[in-house]
Amino acid sequence: MSEKTIPILPCRTLQPVLDFYGALGFEVTFQQKSPNPYAAVERGGIHLQFFGMKHYDPAGSFSTCYVRTHDVDGLYEAFRTGLKAAYGRLPTRGLPRIGPLRDTTYGTRQFLMSDPGGNCLRIGQQTSEDPRHRPAPRETFARALHHASLFADSKEDLARAAKIIDRALTLEDERPTPVQLLQLLILRADTARRLGDEEIAASALREAAAIRLTTEERHSVRDDLMRLEELRA
């Protein structure tokens, strides 16, 4: 079988999108300005094509595609390095942006990335043969993290995610472990920043950075600690 699927994604203008993918190590393999703006980029086995729409609104885009890889950690690090070099910092909100690398509840290790055209790429590595969502944890704070992560990333309902975390952090009869508290605060800072609330983001980041963890605990949350440093930069 020699079939191959290539996503064709919209954007308002081509050049910002091509510059973005160029920073990620993609090569522009085709580009035309007329009769219709159109371009194609490639990086290894990832092939994407784009068409320009004059009145297109990237902020309201629902366009997405999934990229499956055998080295999501390596690809994530390469993309982070390229974006930092191109933008002077890691873009974590607005457009373009790159999200955190994390293990999902459905057997995938992945990160989400949105280009200047508002197109979301989900880039992941399969870690389980079972693609179904695992049941939500019963423990209070693990459950809060589970649901808040889903609302923040999969549904992009940032306000709902923030509400879940705030409710968990104000409980008086239960307290999270240091690891859970770190994860809740980092996710809260991430949602606050994406919502434009820098005061809450800064407060959550300061509190997260002050948490003391054992060496074993730090190893278990290395993805979260990476995100903490990205948000503090």
Give the model's pLDDT for residue 134. Answer: 82
Give the model's pLDDT for residue 21. Answer: 98
Give the pLDDT confidence of 174-223 residue by residue, as tens digits.
999 999 999 999 999 999 999 999 999 999 999 999 999 999 999 999 99
- The dihedral built from the CA positions of residue 229, 60, 126 and 188, taken in this order, carries a sign that is positive
SS3 for 116-136 is CCCCEEEEEEECCCCCCCCCC
Give the model's pLDDT for residue 130. Answer: 86
Adjacent-strand bridge partners of 103 = 109
**CA 232 and chain centroid, separation:** 16
pLDDT at 25 over 80: yes
Angle in degrees, CA 6, 10, 14, rounded to 5: 100
CA distance 227 to 233: 10
Instruction: Report the chain's mean pLDDT, rounded to a whole number.
Output: 94
Across the range 47-52, mean pLDDT stands at: 98
The encoded tokens of residue 73 equal 């950690």
Give the model's pLDDT for residue 106. Answer: 87
pLDDT at 105 over 90: no
Tell me how far apart the terminal alpha carbons of the chain are, to the nearest angstrom: 46
pTM > 0.75: yes or no:
yes
pLDDT at 149 over 80: yes
Across the range 58-66, mean pLDDT stands at: 94
